[in-house]
A = this chain, B = another copy of it.
Amino acid sequence: MNQKIFVSAKEVADRAGVSRSAVSRTFTPGASVSEETRRRVMEAAEALGYHVNHLARGLMRNESGLVCLIVSEMDTPYRSSLIRAISHQLQSVSKVAMLINTDRSDKSVDDALRLAISYRADASIILSGMPDRSITDLCMKSGQRLVLINRDEEREGALMINLHDREAARRALIAFQRAGCSRLAFANSDVGTPSLMAREEGFVEAADDAGIDVVVERFGPTRYQSGVVLAQRLLTREARPEAIFCANDLLACGVLDTARHQFKLAVPEELCVIGFDDIEQSSWSSYELTTFAQPVDLIAKEAVAWLTHPAPADGTASRIRADLIWRGSVRGG
């Protein structure tokens, strides 16, 4: 019942009347094989349904072609589009994505990395959580490349890809000022992801510099439902905010919906909102959310490029600008 019949290079070799090495070389780009043998091998392989065993190949080369994607809450719009972009890029360089979803705990990230090592993954890309330093050291020692996306924390020899969160936050403030808003708020989840915190801090600092007060509210996971709660908290304050910068588009959607439907506020006339990520829903006509775009394709490209191309200096940090997408949720675009 569980007997799997795979055809091996030996059988192909026999059928083609060549040695096993010839078969191997036929399927190894850049190896020395004559046109004639290659043809005969391919013919036999086709007929028998032969496929190179990537496990064995990986065992020899110590390089599996697998790249581990470590991510939590991957059914979230931003995450899933990033995963899509990355796996697409990986395929274009003949690698394949191994998907591991974690809960938010760093422990589960450690486990994921261990698994990656077990599979001799060529690299791991971390989208959520932060592994223990001892594990990352182990990765380095194992020759496993590491990419940290939006983690904003240093790790020996790893590539860090981050956005200019703080700078974006400053621009959000300017946008609100231009719109004539003076009572400002920042809506955040309470998970404390580095990039989210950077947006918050950047916004608060910029406001401080401008001598403006800003109310910060934090609640729950970084999801729509938390946005609902945050809006309820913020919009029932004595001095109702005129503008809310949300750490995230999902939060922003929750805020927008609650402001409009529950509090009957007109956006952007009575309330301006800016989000972050530019998820697909932000462009839907119910939201028309002004937001900062995460350039997922660019991020994916940088990550994969670094994996394939040995890095110049081995640990590198890349910081990408997030463009502001003007839509209808802020006055005076």
Contacts and interface: CB of A to CB of B under 8 A. Distances in A.
B4 A143 contact: yes
Interface of A: 1-6, 49, 51-56, 58-59, 62-64, 66, 69, 74-77, 79-81, 83-84, 87-88, 91, 96-101, 114-115, 117-120, 138, 141-144, 224, 228, 253-254, 257-258, 260-262, 280-281, 284-287, 310
B118 A53 contact: yes
Contacts of A3: 143
Chain B CB count within 10 A is highest, among A62, A114, A119, A257, for: A119
A49 B286 CA distance: 53
B118 A5 contact: no
Contact of A74 (B1, B5, B80): B80
Contacts of A83: 74-75, 80, 99
A286 to B, nearest CB: 4
Nearest to A97: B99
A77 B77 contact: yes
Nearest to A261: B285
A262 B286 CA distance: 11
Contact of A96 (B98, B258, B281): B98
A99 B4 contact: no
Contacts of A120: 6, 53-55
